């Protein structure tokens, strides 16, 4: 009956059979998984299995309901896999002479249903946040940053840190969401399309989580011009350059070292702007950088709207920058966010579960918790979009924003990702 996927027994895939024809090569399903399924590495084996169009087509047949064993075996013929392989991968389970799904598979219709439910319930989650708006704004006032208005801070601290990161921790802790443990894995597949446009669904953080951390948070469909995204793209370009094979590993090592150095420089410079505007020379001294290095960084960061010039020779941060001095206020915001989410989930979860009872996997006995990761993302994404519309959160698509779709932040990792105690300070 679904649930956690323990890595038991040896999972061997038989790699024989007729290769797929070119007409079959367009993927019908997108696959992903949580956990590795060690020691058998079920996760990577699952991904290899889902690369096969005939396996994808056979699994999609479950959209109509459980399949007769003989019919399903025939559908797999020529894929190089058997129903026993898929049972070992914990994708299907047998009962009598039939097979049912044993993992989370979302059809386009399922994704449309999840989106429709999220449009209703996510707005309710936003309303729960707005009920505590005065308390949230009072806490944001304890984090004054002249270049980053409270709406920008709220977008990151409430929309990303609380609803996204802490929300995922909370839903796992309370049992709403399955979290694979050691030696377990949780496979998922979804049919491309469905779920409507994702523009304005603010549900994705891209992170470099080191002691000094850089994040962009916003719309996954937007091309992000910030850190770490620029580093990733530049790194891929350099790693993909034409070079002899023996040279490529050395290029990769150099690129990794260069990325780390640039991250430290950007992070250090931004953290030194937390307490107010500084001159170029003051930044060079504080961040232990040369004048040329600071000039190059300020040029890039000004273009990216991380910093702005004030007066003749001073620069200040335009994005959220959080250091240890902000830890108490950030902790209070996170505790308040947790209370809001706990109360909302306790009140709305049963209705949410009933509204999603017709999803393909649920009808075949797979727990809703196995896909609550995705469901929660739709819920808080709609909540975030609604809070942008209310003007409580900054708008990543505002007309005066040069690079649209996401908002960056720089912070000490321990300030926003430390253990969340539930006691008031």
- DSSP string of 141-194, one letter each residue: TTS--TTS-HHHHHIIIIIIIIIIIIHHHHHHHTTSS----TTEEEEEEE-SS-
Half-sphere exposure of 236 (CA within 13 A, CB side): 5
Q: What are phi and psi of 90, to 5 degrees?
A: 65, 40
Q: 9 pLDDT band (50/70/90 cuts)?
A: very low
d(CA 26, CA 44): 20
Mean pLDDT of 132-145: 96
The two tokens of residue 144 are: 């004054």
Cβ–Cβ contacts within 10 Å for residue 161, how many?
A: 25
What domains can be seen in the chain, in order of their start residue?
A: 5-102 (1.10.10), 107-425 (no CATH)
Tell me, what DSSP letter sits at residue 325? Answer: G
Distances (CA, A) of 331 to 241, 244, 340, 342, 407: 45, 51, 14, 16, 21
| The predicted structure's pLDDT at residue 259 | 73
| The predicted structure's pLDDT at residue 239 | 65
How confident is the model over 316-369, as pLDDT tens digits? 999 999 999 999 999 999 999 999 999 999 999 999 999 999 999 999 999 999
Distances (CA, A) of 142 to 9, 95, 268: 55, 59, 23
Beta bridge partners of 68: 98
| The predicted structure's pLDDT at residue 422 | 56
Tell me, what DSSP letter sits at residue 393? Answer: S
How confident is the model over 261-318, as pLDDT tens digits? 888 899 999 999 999 999 999 999 999 999 999 999 999 999 999 999 998 899 999 9
Q: Is the pLDDT of residue 17 over 50?
A: no
């Amino acid at each position: 009956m679904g649930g956690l996927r323990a890595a038991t027994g040896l999972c061997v895939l038989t790699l024989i059979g007729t290769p797929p024809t070119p007409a079959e090569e367009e993927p019908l399903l997108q696959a992903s998984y949580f956990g590795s399924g060690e020691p058998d590495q079920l996760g990577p084996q699952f991904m290899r299995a889902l690369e096969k169009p005939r396996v994808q087509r056979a699994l999609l047949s479950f959209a109509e309901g459980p399949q007769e064993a003989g019919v399903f075996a025939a559908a797999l013929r020529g894929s190089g896999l058997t129903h026993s392989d898929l049972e070992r991968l914990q994708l299907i389970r047998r009962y009598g002479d039939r097979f049912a799904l044993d993992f989370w598979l979302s059809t386009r219709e399922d994704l449309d249903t999840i989106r429709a439910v999220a449009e209703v319930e996510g707005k309710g989650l936003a309303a729960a946040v707005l009920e505590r708006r005065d308390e949230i704004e009072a806490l944001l006032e304890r984090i004054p940053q002249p270049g980053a208005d409270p709406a920008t801070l709220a977008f990151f601290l409430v929309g990303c840190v609380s609803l996204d990161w802490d929300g995922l921790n909370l839903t796992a802790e309370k049992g709403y969401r399955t979290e694979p443990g050691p030696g377990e894995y949780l496979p998922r597949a979804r049919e491309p399309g469905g779920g409507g446009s994702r523009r304005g669904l603010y549900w994705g953080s891209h992170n470099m989580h080191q002691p000094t951390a850089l994040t962009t948070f916003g719309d996954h469909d937007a091309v992000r011009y910030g850190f770490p995204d620029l580093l990733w793209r530049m790194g891929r370009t350099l790693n993909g350059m034409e070079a002899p094979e023996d040279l490529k590993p050395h290029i990769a090592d150099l690129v990794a070292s260069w990325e780390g150095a640039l991250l430290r420089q950007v992070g250090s410079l931004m953290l030194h702007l937390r307490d107010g505007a500084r001159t170029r020379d003051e930044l060079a001294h504080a961040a232990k950088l040369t004048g040329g290095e600071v000039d190059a960084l300020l040029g890039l960061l000004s273009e990216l709207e991380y910093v702005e010039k004030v007066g003749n020779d001073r620069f200040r941060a335009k994005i959220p920058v959080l250091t240890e001095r902000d830890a108490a206020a950030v902790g209070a915001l996170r505790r308040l966010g947790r209370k809001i989410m706990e109360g909302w989930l306790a009140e709305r979860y049963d209705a949410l579960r009933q509204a999603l009872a017709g999803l393909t996997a649920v009808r075949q006995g797979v727990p809703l918790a196995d896909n609550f990761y995705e469901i929660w993302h739709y819920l808080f994404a709609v909540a975030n979009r609604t809070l942008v519309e209310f003007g409580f959160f900054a708008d990543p698509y505002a007309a005066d924003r040069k690079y649209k779709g996401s908002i960056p932040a720089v912070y000490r990792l321990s300030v926003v990702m430390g253990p969340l105690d539930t006691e008031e300070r």
